[in-house]
Amino acid sequence: MPSNKSVSDAPIVQFTNCRILRDHQLQREDLWVREGKILNPEKLFFDEKGSADVQLDCKDSIIAPGFIDVQINGGFGVDFSLATDDFKSGVDLVSQKILSHGVTSFCPTLVTSPPSVYHQVLPQISVRNGGAHGAGVLGAHLEGPFISKEKKGAHPEHCLRTFEEGAFQDLLATYGSLDCVQIVTLAPEMRRSSEVIRELTKRGICVSLGHSVANLSQAEEAVQHGATFITHLFNAMLPFHHRDPGIVGLLTSDKIPDVKIPAGRRVFYGMISDGIHTNPAALRIAHRAHPKGLVLVTDAIAGMGLAPGRHTLGQQVVEIDGLNTYIAGTKTLSGSVATMDACVRHFQEATGCSVETALEAASLHPAQLLGIEHKKGTLNYDSDADFLMLNDSLCVQATYIAGEEVWRQDVSGM
């Protein structure tokens, strides 16, 4: 067949002998990639009379969209809530290391901190595409300080804040800038939170409900004002109660379908599927109640990827004991040391869900939450060619960003 050089000089790569996750099903098809995008082979054949320049045998691997982690506090010794003048090098290190765990895009997350930390750190975070240098940065996730004292979890109480008169200006003064911010977690029961939610939503920032003692009606009101996410469901919120299920009740609220959520999106909820933060039974309950809203997050801290011992989470010292992470000297959980691929495997095992469902909880759903599903989180034609090769046990074998291999499992010692 003639090549398609008349249309583009860029090479076309055809991934063969694979099962592609597309339209919620693993399908035995080839994947075609050019210039960092996924190609429609029919258009290539019939419109361009083109063919592949390179063929790669995937040896029956699963090909799935790259994972998107919207809540990661750090890892590999890097704490995103510590202010340094060379913050960017820490982001670079984490973005490189998480490629081996299938993460191709992420939101660096800052826990409750003094204003000076936000003012120093946020200008050093820039939204950027992924590549050989590491996973793409989608923008910051600011978890606090506008959260409940009663459900502060691992957040330092002396840094917590309430909304004063001119609530949104108060938030701006605290953070310094919202230029690179993608998600803000706040407690919706706080006075004046409604105007803050509206203003953040107007700016295209996702509002998440968390670290909160809100009842269901307060949570529903927050959704009506634009909130679309729940931060680590079940953790740091009122426990489910049959007379008032609290924030958890949003999963089956009969008022949500009537709410005009921006762009018609549903309410999503994060879950830390590490076997520690949420009992498998609770994971199953949430998944069966609202499967299309479940977003897997790691909530990983600086100690992820390191040996047990003492590490930091912003203003606090934390201790890692096996898979448990606690504020030093307490039994208060403080983030996780789980990697995203491990969370996907645990979720699939704990719920008995399909492979497709487990993979979409870490790819499609976070993309939908952030409104970027037209380019990330799927293998649809014209979307970004950020994808993974996995074996049947959902272990990552290779990671691709923009169609280029950025990490591969070393099998030389196997």
Binding residues for Zn(2+): 143, 211, 232
Check: CB of residue 162 under 8 Å from CB of residue 148. Answer: no
Question: CA–CA separation, 269 vs 345, rounded Å?
Answer: 18
Map residue 374 onto helix, strand or coil. Answer: coil
Query: Which tokens is 27 given?
Result: 């399908």
Active site residue 299: yes
Q: Which residues of 150-177 are buried (b: 16+ CB within 10 A; e: fewer)?
A: ebbbbbbeebbbbbeeebbebbeebbbe
**Angle at 329 (CA atoms; ends 327, 333), nearest 5 degrees:** 30
Question: CA–CA separation, 7 vs 9, rounded Å?
Answer: 7
One DSSP character per residue, 5-68 reads: TTT-SS-EEEEEEEEEEETTEEE---EEEETTEE--HHHHHHTS----SEEEEEEEEEEEEPEE
Check: CB of residue 311 under 8 Å from CB of residue 305. Answer: no
Binding residues for substrate: 154, 235-236, 243, 277, 333-335
Q: Using DSSP, how many helices (H) and how many strands (E) does the chain show?
A: 10, 22
Q: Which residue among 69, 79, 274, 299 is the active-site one?
A: 299
CA 326 to chain centre: 22
What sign results for the dihedral spanned by CA atoms 291, 100, 327, 322? positive
- Which residues lie across from 37 on neighbouring strands? 34, 384
Distances (CA, A) of 15 to 54, 67, 403: 9, 19, 10
Cis peptide leading into residue 145 (ω within 30°): yes
Catalytic machinery residues? 299
